[in-house]
Structure 1
Amino acid sequence: MASSALVKPQMRGLLSKCLCFHIVGTFIVSLGVTTFCKFVVAEPRKKADADSYRNYDSMKDFEDMRKVGIFQSTK
């Protein structure tokens, strides 16, 4: 009676079953991390760069650097 209560462990196909589960889980986690990085890091950075260069005046920046003394060949 006691021997019939024990369930035999699954030996055949165990590796493929575990690998399939972990590959699907890894794919889902990687998609989540990629989406998180895109919307939390990349998009705000693109927006900040666009805002920065929208009002950028290169001549004013050059004059400020010249006054500070970064460019020694120009007076």
Structure 2
Amino acid sequence: MSASAIAKPAMRGLLAKRLRFHLAVAFTMAFSVAGLFKFLVTDSRKNAYADFYKKYDAVKDFEAMREAGIFESVKPKKAH
């Protein structure tokens, strides 16, 4: 067999062809991960905050902090 029997590799346009494939894969993976993050992390955090603020009483929390002496400018209520 001579050296001319071996087919030459197709080098022209190889970078563009591989780049198109890898860009498509990269965008697909990026959007998939972003979607998973939105549904698994962001939505669960929004639900947790919504549940917390449904039951949250700011006045009750303020009174508890005032009684504990956290605030310097607000004196605790005196018991009657």
Count how many residue pairs are aligned between Structure 1 and Structure 2.
74
3-state DSSP of counterpart to 1:70: coil
* Richer in helix (by share): 1
Q: Which residue of 2 aligns with 1:41?
A: 41
Unaligned runs of 5+ in 2: 76-80
Structure number, greater radius of gyration: 2
Q: Which residue of 2 aligns with 1:25?
A: 25
| TM-score normalised by the chain length of structure 1 | 0.90
Q: Which residue of 2 aligns with 1:53?
A: 53
Equivalents in 1 of 2:38, 2:51: separation in Å? 18
| TM-score normalised by the chain length of structure 2 | 0.85
Opposite residue 22 of structure 2, the aligned amino acid is H
After the TM superposition, which residues 58-69 of structure 1 pair with which residues of structure 2 at under 5 Å, given as runs? Answer: 58-69=58-69
Equivalents in 2 of 1:10, 1:45: separation in Å? 51
Equivalents in 2 of 1:61, 1:8: separation in Å? 78
Query: After TM superposition, which residue ranges in structure 1, 4 or more long, deviate above 6 angstroms?
Result: none
Unaligned runs of 5+ in 1: none
Equivalents in 2 of 1:60, 1:33: separation in Å? 41
3-state DSSP of counterpart to 1:7: coil
**What is the CA deviation profile of residues 39-73 of structure 1, one whole-angstrom value per residue up to 9, with x for unaligned ones?**
11000000000000011100000011111111111
